[in-house]
Amino acid sequence: MGELYRCPVLFITAMIFFHGSAFSQAYSPGQLLSSDFHEKRRELLRDKLPARSVAVFFANPVRNRSNDVDYPYHQDPDFYYLTGYTEPDAMLLIFKDDQENLEGKKYNEIIFVQPKSEWDEMWTGKRMGVEGVKKDLGFDMVYVNADFQYYKLPLEHIRQVLFKPFHDDIRNTVDKGDLYDLVQWFRQLSGMEDSLRQRDAGKKSRIKYDDQTLDRILDAMREIKTPEELALLQKAIDISCMAHIETIKAGHPGISERELQGVQEFIHRKYGSEAEGYPPIVGSGENTCILHYEENSRTSIDSGDLVLMDVGAQYGGYSADVTRTFPVDGTFTPEQKQIYDLVYKAQRASIEACRKGVSFGEFQKAGYDVIANGLVELGIIRKPAEYQTYLPHGLSHHIGLDVHDRGDMYTLQENMVITIEPGIYIPDGSQCDKKWWETGVRIEDDLLVQKDGCKVLSSLAPSTSEEIEDLMKQPGTPGE
């Protein structure tokens, strides 16, 4: 097939992503976003590409968990954003300029996908195949990945430039009908970029590898959410809020961290979430002071302990990110309430400073200043500059297809969706009065940046200390 096409010399912009987070292969978020959405993302990317370039994307590989068990499949977010395709062993090429075959047909994108297979589909579920991708995802130039492997790539130049390092190995080790070897070979593509760079190192090459440019383009695209994306994010956030509400109501001394995690996940599934957007954080007592605590293994939470839950539902591939902190026995101690109210005050200061055109540094500083001055007033630190001892992280990030989504951290723009998440963490042995020890508090909400301010999308979940205590007086009946 390669002999039937001609292609000019191209500059190559190559990007490879392998994230490997959990996602249900049986769930297809493509049902929730139209093929028109993904096509417009490709058009926008093409418009921003440098002249005479092609952007190359790979689907995430399947990740092995143990022996013959794999992790639930999660598509590379960029690949999904541009295609809607949720299966592994695929490649996408997007050309800046129209290409033309010898018959005069023009094209500017090609996608390679895994083939239909009655045997594999019996074990792991339906595949789209070439015709399904054409029909449901709106692609014209679609090939099975075997066409790519066996010298059938339509663009002879691209085939030679990108994949020559693999040709000899393929010719010597892979039989044309061996689908297992084909899949194994495709998994090797994660090392392709390194092979290319090593091959051309120290040589005058016509090929320019510019992954930084592609990074900047995708950051700018994905940080601004479309109405379709906002609808999915709001759904994910609403589900998360419902889960936090029911889990707080279910809390009581003696409950385990994993039980609380289970309530969260049950509510997520009840309302249609396909997964969590990241490993749930459910820490109690001293575990509230571990920023990314994921073990959730404490078997009995003591009366008087705080519980910090940083858990977000994923819906249609988009992840919420919501954190609430509550006293397991229903009432904050005086010291816990002072810390909690200080964190809440800091969050409100950052939210009030959040609007289009404001820098990330400016609205985060509003929260930092409240924390710093408040810790001094409580006698926990001696001077404001020491606040980072008890607040070592940033107060914001983008959310979307990744819980820490693509986007720059310079200036707020309309239709960005960000978090604001101040916290205070005082572990055992801290250089302050013991009455503050084992106190970890974080309050995190998701916000939509608007022209004249920020809309709190996660306001469904109560967040003041009084609201939390009132909520805990209600009977815990998760799922009903």
Q: What pairs with residue 441 in β-bridges?
A: 424
Transcribe 307-336 into DSSP letters: EEEEE-EEETTEE--EEEEEETTS---HHH
Residues 395-447 have pLDDT tens digits of 999 999 999 999 999 999 999 999 999 999 999 999 999 999 999 999 999 99
Task: Give the distance from CA 8 to its chain's centroid.
Answer: 36
Q: Is the pLDDT of residue 384 over 80?
A: yes
d(CA 292, CA 288): 9
SS3 of residue 294 by DSSP: coil
What domains sit in the chain, N to C, each tagged with a CATH number? 2-221 (3.40.350.10), 224-472 (3.90.230.10)
Q: Is the pLDDT of residue 472 over 60?
A: yes
477: confidence class by pLDDT, cuts 50, 70, 90 = low
478: confidence class by pLDDT, cuts 50, 70, 90 = low
d(CA 318, CA 310): 16
Tokens of 107: 């094209």
**Cβ(357)–Cβ(458) below 8 Å:** no
Q: What pairs with residue 13 in β-bridges?
A: 55
d(CA 434, CA 378): 13
57: confidence class by pLDDT, cuts 50, 70, 90 = confident
For the ranges 26-35, 125-134, 211-220, 331-340, the lowest mean pLDDT is seen at: 26-35
Q: Is the pLDDT of residue 181 over 90?
A: no
Per DSSP, 359 falls in state B
39 φ/ψ sector (left φ>0, alpha ψ -120 to 50, else beta) = alpha
SS3 of residue 117 by DSSP: coil
Tokens of 223: 């940080």
Helices (H) and strands (E) in the chain, counts: 14, 18
- What integer pLDDT is reported at residue 51 of this predicted model? 82
> Average pLDDT in the 369-376 region?
98
Percent of the chain with pLDDT over 90: 69
- What integer pLDDT is reported at residue 56 of this predicted model? 82
Residues 285-334 have pLDDT tens digits of 999 999 999 999 999 999 999 999 999 999 999 999 999 999 999 999 99
SS3 of residue 69 by DSSP: strand
**Cβ(89)–Cβ(144) below 8 Å:** no
Q: Is the pLDDT of residue 160 over 70?
A: no
- What integer pLDDT is reported at residue 101 of this predicted model? 61
Query: For residues 156-177, b (16+ Cβ closer than 10 Å) or e, as one string?
Result: bebbebbbeebeeebeeebeee
Per DSSP, 452 falls in state T
**Cβ(165)–Cβ(194) below 8 Å:** no
Q: 260 vs 1, which has greater pLDDT?
A: 260
d(CA 39, CA 136): 12
**N-terminal to C-terminal alpha carbon distance within the chain:** 59
For the ranges 94-98, 104-108, 425-429, the lowest mean pLDDT is seen at: 104-108
Return phi, psi of residue 240, to 5°.
-60, -45
- What integer pLDDT is reported at residue 112 of this predicted model? 87
Q: 12 vs 417, which has greater pLDDT?
A: 417
Residue with tokens 């598509």: 75
Q: Rounded to the nearest 10 degrees, what angle do helices 465-472 and 334-352 cross at?
A: 120
Residue with tokens 């200036």: 411
Q: Is the pLDDT of residue 177 over 80?
A: no
What HEC string does 386-445 produce?
HHHHCCCCCCCCECCCCCCCCCCCCECCCCCEEEECCEEEECCCCCCCHHHCCEEEECEE
Q: Beta 142-144 vs 106-113: how paired, if at all?
A: parallel
Q: Rounded to the nearest 10 degrees, what angle do helices 211-222 and 35-48 cross at?
A: 130
Q: Rounded to the nearest 10 degrees, what angle do helices 156-173 and 192-200 cross at?
A: 110
Tokens of 461: 């979940």
275-276 sheet: strands from edge to edge: 275-276, 313-315, 318-319
